[in-house]
Structure 1
């Protein structure tokens, strides 16, 4: 059966990025490191070409492609977080050292890769049976940078507009 896995393109930081990513999520590890077999556009013979790694069960490949390409938020990686502590830990780690925070739980890490750090409780509030509460939670989320579960809960449960 065919499988799909993302390939992240780097200009020399593939191994560094892969090690960083696998340090953040349980069940993640570097599996394969492949060197360039000969001098070429992606580097000199013997330099790192590809790193393959599962990240929380999803397979990824990081490639040192030999030039820089910019990522866009049109493709991002969403991490479902069980609680605020996990949201905070991943948000802080991924946005550190040159990362850029955006709104509604989105950020770009130091390599330019876009991530969505999303508490699983978000769906409970946005899809709850109280339509007015869901609307208040949506408005609260739109005003947040890092998502705050307690703020979403308060907005959902309040009886007036957030």
Structure 2
């Protein structure tokens, strides 16, 4: 399994993580839930990475795979007035990753990150490692620290 920019970033920062490859299904209706099912994970701890724009500025939200963003909560978490999903081509260009493999770690251009507060109390969460079909497990505190992120309510 080749290293991704995300795994390289974590290794360089000295953060402990484990890799979990799985069979990626490009036709899955909900990719994060399909990944959780493939690995037998609790969907509440399988986190998906969503790129957004808050007042026109790029930002990253990390939330449980089965949840939906509340744009009102997203705007508040980043101290803005309005939030919207980032268009796919823009998200792929900004992160350097393809949708289905976007990770908050090792993005082409660093952006502010907020992680949903609820799973941050768990011992471990699973997040995309920067490649379709590859997750990493990490302690939420380590993810928050290495990303310079904060935990806040983001879901509807």
| TM-score (norm: length of structure 2) | 0.24
Determine which structure has greater relative contact order: mean sequence separation of CA pairs < 8 Å that are 6+ residues apart, divided by chain length.
Answer: 2
TM-score (norm: length of structure 1): 0.23
